[in-house]
Chains A and B, each alone.
Chain A
Amino acid sequence: MIIKILIITFILFVLWRTTLMYRKNDITGRELMIWIFFWCLVAGATLLPQKTDIIASWLGVGRGADLFVYLSIIVLFFLAFRIIVKLEKINRDVTKVVRHNALNAKKNQES
């Protein structure tokens, strides 16, 4: 029971932070909806864990909790992959900017 209270409190905290980010225009309305949907699913699975067993059995997984762990790992791997790729792109963009500035500064120096 305590774990449920902790998880729900955490979800409420995350939803509050996400809403603040939306108000500051740090995330779009679409992103806000996706996060609300995701955290509502997590809240539902926390409050009614027996319901997740039904979905798990459809997918051939023993328990809902196991399904949740499997899905979490897949999502985390995907996010890590996305972040690495994005980081690579940002690195390349930084190089482009630094190069552009360096060549421009040299050009200005010469003229």
Chain B
Amino acid sequence: MITSVVIPAYNEERMIGEVVAGLKDKVSQIIVVNDGSTDLTAKMAKQAGADVISHSLNRGQGAALQTGIIYALNKGADVIVTFDADGQFLSAEIDQIIKPLLLGQVDVTLGSRFLDDRSDIPKEKLLILKVATWVTNLYTGLKLTDIHNGFRGLSRQAAALIEIRQDGMAHASEILEQIRKHNLKYQEVPVTIKYTDYSRAKGQKVTNSFRIIKDLLLSRLG
């Protein structure tokens, strides 16, 4: 059973080595998609033991994820886990993401920071995440507690069916739309999100939600 982790990374030289090292003994393959970084992200990831694929231009997290997923599928991955490069996730929790997939219980597992109180979520994020979750549940018809969480697991079949066309952050909503469209079985899994100064500086701003809405609307015109 081949388990691959796909990590999209853009200018993450500070954290990527640590993130890759933390995952090393837990999965078969770690794929870092260096998304046009201008720093030493690719070098640090490689040194830590990751397989690095480099985009020559920065295309966004969604684009990098899709590249990594294609590569993982080509390498025969049975389970693909998506993971953030900024050190917000706990590598120890990857087993909980993978387990339902290995048991064949579901096609997709989705990390959620809202299933228990293990994450200390900043108040300004809490409101926008709750509103975004409510809106997304409304139009996808899914019942989720957390919609913009990059910690997720996909069975090989699910990864082959889901095609991420949203290059930017709207890919998170798009994946949920496709789960619905392909009628994939999913399960939410409680995960921890660490809010460090670094991850808060690198992470999504509240204003990004407007861009996500714009991207989702535009994708329906194209």
Contact = CB atoms under 8 A, between A and B. Distances in A.
Interface string B154-167: 00000000000101
Contacts, number: 50
11 contacts: A81-B221, A85-B222, A88-B222, A91-B167, A92-B222, A94-B59, A99-B59, A99-B67, A102-B53, A102-B54, A103-B67
B67 A102 contact: yes
Interface of B: 33, 36, 51, 53-57, 59-60, 63, 66-67, 70-71, 74, 165, 167, 218-219, 221-222
Given A88-B218, A89-B222, A95-B167, A105 B54 contact: yes
Given A85-B221, A103-B53, 5 more contacts: A84-B221, A91-B167, A92-B167, A102-B56, A102-B67
Contacts of B63: 95, 98-99
A87 to B, nearest CB: 9
A106 interface: yes
10 nearest A-B residue pairs (beta carbon): A88-B222, A95-B63, A99-B67, A95-B59, A106-B53, A98-B55, A102-B53, A102-B55, A98-B57, A95-B167
A101 B36 CA distance: 12
Given A98-B55, A102-B54, A92 B165 contact: yes
A111 to B, nearest CB: 13
Contacts of B33: 102
Given A84-B218, A84-B221, A88-B222, A99 B165 contact: no
B42 to A, nearest CB: 11
A43 B88 CA distance: 63
Nearest to A86: B222
Given A92-B165, A106-B71, A99 B221 contact: no
Interface of A: 81, 84-85, 88-89, 91-92, 94-95, 98-99, 101-103, 105-106
Contact of A99 (B51, B66, B218, B219): B66
Nearest to A110: B51
A10 B200 CA distance: 52
A88 to B, nearest CB: 4
Contacts of A88: 218-219, 221-222
A88 B59 CA distance: 13
A98 B53 contact: no
Candidate in B56, B59, B70 with the most chain A CB atoms within 10 angstroms: B59
Nearest to A105: B54
A98 B221 contact: no
Contacts of A103: 53, 67, 70-71, 74
Nearest to A99: B67
B209 to A, nearest CB: 19
Interface centre among A81, A84, A103 (most CB of B within 10 A): A103
A84 B222 CA distance: 9
Given A95-B63, A95-B167, A101 B56 contact: yes
Contacts of B55: 98-99, 102
Contacts of B165: 92
A98 B71 contact: no
